Structure 1
Amino acid sequence: MPPAPLIADLRSDTVTTPTPQMRAAMAAAAVGDDVYGEDPTVNALQQEVARLTGHEAGLFMPSGTMTNQVAIALHTQRGHEVICAEGSHIYEWELGMMAAFSGVVPRFVHAPLGIPDPEGVRAAVRRSIHQSPSGLISLENTHNKAGGTVIPLEVLAGIRAVADQEGLPLHLDGARVFNAAAALDVPLSDITGQFDTVSVCLSKGLGAPVGSVLVGSKAQMAQAHRYRKMMGGGMRQAGILAAAALVALQDGPALLKEDHRRARQLAEALAGAGFAVNLAAVQTNIIYATLPDAAAHAARWAAAGVHANALGPDSVRFVLHHQVTDEALERAIGVLTGAVVQA
C-alpha cells in the first residue's frame, strides 16, 4: 500500500523548501567567485548578517557545523578545552570535529533546560599545569537538545562577565538565535552582540535552502576564510544560495512567533493525549516527547502522512516551521494523538 499523502513534516525546520520569492531571487542573482571574495550577493549577505548581529564582518559557509568548527579553530590551540553546556550541538551532533580538526576536547557544564549558571562556567575554567587549559566558552541559544530553550539575557551577561574576567573568548552557536530573539522580543544584536563570534544558521527557522554565516571581527573572518577553505567550504558562485538567504533574512523573522505558537499548541495537545512532554521546555519551535517504542510510533505516523524524528528508543522530536499551516497542524494532531490512543 502506498504511503498517505504528506500532511506535515515535523522532523526539523531544515525540511522547508524555497519559496517562490527565493526561487526568483536565485534566478536573478548576480554572482562571482566567492573564494576570491568577488560574489556580490554573498558579500551583501555577509554584510547584512554582520549588521544585524552587531559585528564587523561575516563569512558565508555551507553549514552550521562548519561555522561552529571554524570558530573553535579560530579561538583555540591544540590541547585546549572548550567549556560548553551539557548536550551542546558542537559535541552531540558535530561528529567529534572539535577533536579531529582543532585537537580540543569539551568540558561540560551542568545546564538545566540548556541554561548554564555563570558560576558553573567559572568553576569549569582550568588553569592547572596538570589539566588541559580552557581555551573557549561556547553557548547554544536556543538549545536544541534541551528542547529549543532560550538563555535569559541576564545569564548571557553573567557569562560574558566571566569570559572577560577569565580572559577567554565567547562563541555562540546561534543556529536558532532568531528564535531566541523572537521569544525574548528583543533585537537580535541584544543577544549576539555579547559574543566574540556567532554562528547564524539561515536554513532552519528562517527557511533558506542552504547556509550559515559566521560573524566576528574583520581579522577573525580573514583567518576564518582560510579554515573554511581547509574544510572544503569554498562554494565559488554561491550568490545563487546567498540570494535565497537574503530573502529568508527579510521574510523569515516575522514568521517565527507563529511557529512558536503552533509548537505550544501541539505540545499541549500531545500532553493532553498522554505524551510525556515537559511544557516548561517548549519555549520556541521544538518539542521533545517521551514514549516507548519511539521508532515504531514514528513509522506509523509517517505512513499516515506525519513525519517526526525518533531520536532514541523512547524520545521523539517535533519541530515547527513556516510551511506547517494551522490546518496541517490540526490534521497532524489528529494523527499523532490517535496513534497514541491505539498503541
Structure 2
Amino acid sequence: MDFRSDTVTKPTQAMRTAMADAIVGDDVYGDDPTVNDLEQWAAQRHGFEAALFTTSGTQANLLGLMAHCQRGDEYLCGQQAHNYRYEAGGAAVLGSIQPQPIENNPDGTLDFDKLKAAIKPDDSHFARTRLLSLENTINGKVLPLDYLAQARQFVDTHGLQLHLDGARVYNAAVALNVDVIEIAKHFDSMTVCLSKGLSAPIGSLLLGDKAFIDRARRIRKMLGGGMRQAGILAAAGKLALTEQVAQLSVDHANAKTLAEGLSQIDGFHVNAEFVQTNIVFVKVDDDIDTQQLASKLAQDGITITPGNPLRFVTHKDVDANAITTLLAKINEFVA
C-alpha cells in the first residue's frame, strides 16, 4: 500500500492490452496514428484547437510557458505552484522566463489585487508580464468556477494569457460535479496529466490553439522530447481519459474516510471537511516521530512520506480496506 502519491498507480490490464496492440509509427514525422488519435480526440474533448502529447507534466508546463513567453518575459503564479517550486526552475533555466510568485490564499486562489500590483509597467527596467498560470487542483484544493471566470476577466483586462497546470484537473471536475470543459473553457492553454489518478504509466497533454501547439511542438523537439513509436504510451493515455475518470470519485471518498479516521487519533490534526479531493494533509504533535512511523509502517508493507505535515494521497491501488489497515497500524504506533 503506497500513500506517497497518485503517481505510483499501476496501469490497468486494459491499458496493458491496448499498449501491446497499439498501431504505431514515427511520431516525430507525425506518422503515429495512435498518438495522432489521442491528440485530436483530446483537443476536441477539452474544447481546444490542438493538443500535444508529452512525456510528463513538467515538460508540458515548460513547453506551455515557453510557447507563451519570450526570453526576458515574466509569468505570474502562486507561491505554491508546482511549475514554480517543484519543476527545477525550468522556466528560468531553460526558457529565460522570470516567475513572479504570489502567496496563495488558504483556499489555493490568488488575490487579484496582489496580481494586479505585480504586473510590471511597460518600462525597459522590467521584465514583460505576459501570462498568469493557475493550478487546479492545488494541494488537493479545487479552484471554484466563479474564481476561474474572474481570472479570465482579469487577464483580458490586463492583456495577459491564462494557463492552467491541470495535473489533477479531472479531480477538480469530479469534485465540482461538472464536465472538465467547464474548467477548460476559461484558459488559453492547459495541461492534463495522464499518469496520476488516471493511471496511465506515463505522459501529459498540452492543449491550446493551433499556432500555440505548433510552437510547443518545435520546443519539445529542441528539449529532446520528440518520441518515435509513442503510440504504445498514447494508447494507455486515451484509456486514462475514457475509462478511469469514474475512479476519482472513489479516491475522493477514501480520502475523506482517511481524514475522518486520522482526526480521531491522538496527536493527529486534520479537518476532514477541508478535504475536497484525494490529498490529505495532517499536522502531528511534535512528540510523534514521523520517520519512526514511516519505518514501522514499512514493516507492514505500507509506504508513506515522513514529515510534518504528513501528506497522504489516495488512488485506485489503495482501496477502502487499505484505508482501514493504515488507520489501524497508525493507531497501534501511537498506542
TM-score, normalization by structure 1: 0.92
Q: Do structure 1's residue 256 and structure 2's residue 251 form an aligned pair?
A: no
Equivalents in 2 of 1:216, 1:42: separation in Å? 17
CA contact (8 A) 2:68 2:212 kept: no
Aligned match for 2:282, one of 289, 308, 329: 289
Give the stretch that moved more between structures: 182-191 or 100-109: 100-109
Equivalents in 1 of 2:295, 2:77: separation in Å? 34
Once the two structures are superposed, what CA deviation does each residue of 1:199-226 show, in whole Å capped at 9, x if it has no partner? Answer: 1000011111100000001111111111
Equivalents in 2 of 1:257, 1:94: separation in Å? 28
Q: 1:242 to 1:169 in 2, by over 3 A?
A: same
CA contact (8 A) 1:306 1:335 kept: no
Q: Do structure 1's residue 300 and structure 2's residue 296 form an aligned pair?
A: yes
Secondary structure of the structure 2 residue equivalent to 1:332: helix
CA contact (8 A) 1:76 1:135 kept: yes
Q: Do structure 1's residue 49 and structure 2's residue 45 form an aligned pair?
A: no
Q: 1:182 to 1:103 in 2, by over 3 A?
A: same
CA contact (8 A) 1:13 1:321 kept: yes
Aligned residue number for residue 197 of structure 2? 205
Q: Do structure 1's residue 70 and structure 2's residue 63 form an aligned pair?
A: yes
CA contact (8 A) 1:42 1:60 kept: yes
Secondary structure of the structure 1 residue equivalent to 2:25: coil
Aligned residue number for residue 114 of structure 1? 108
Same amino acid, percent of matched pairs = 47
Aligned match for 1:331, one of 293, 300, 325: 325
Once the two structures are superposed, what CA deviation does each residue of 1:169-226 show, in whole Å capped at 9, x if it has no partner? Answer: 1100000000000000111011011111101000011111100000001111111111
CA contact (8 A) 1:118 1:155 kept: no
Equivalents in 2 of 1:333, 1:48: separation in Å? 41
Equivalents in 2 of 1:228, 1:337: separation in Å? 48
Amino acid of the structure 1 residue aligned with 2:325: R
Equivalents in 1 of 2:271, 2:143: separation in Å? 17
Aligned residue number for residue 32 of structure 1? 25
Equivalents in 2 of 1:121, 1:52: separation in Å? 31
Displacement, 1:332?
1.6
CA contact (8 A) 2:79 2:85 kept: no
Equivalents in 2 of 1:45, 1:30: separation in Å? 12
Aligned residue number for residue 243 of structure 1? 235
Aligned pairs, number: 329
CA contact (8 A) 2:84 2:101 kept: no
Amino acid of the structure 1 residue aligned with 2:136: N
CA contact (8 A) 1:121 1:159 kept: no
Equivalents in 2 of 1:280, 1:106: separation in Å? 33
Aligned residue number for residue 99 of structure 1? 92
Displacement, 1:280?
4.6
CA RMSD of aligned residues (A): 1.4
Secondary structure of the structure 2 residue equivalent to 1:84: strand
Structure 1: tracts of 5 or more residues without a match: 1-7
Equivalents in 1 of 2:184, 2:327: separation in Å? 35
Give the stretch that moved more between structures: 150-159 or 43-52: 43-52
Equivalents in 2 of 1:61, 1:278: separation in Å? 37
Amino acid of the structure 2 residue aligned with 1:81: E
Amino acid of the structure 1 residue aligned with 2:130: G
Amino acid of the structure 2 residue aligned with 1:325: D
Once the two structures are superposed, what CA deviation does each residue of 1:118-168 show, in whole Å capped at 9, x if it has no partner? Answer: 333223211152332212100000003xxx100001111111111111111
Amino acid of the structure 1 residue aligned with 2:206: L
TM-score, normalization by structure 2: 0.94
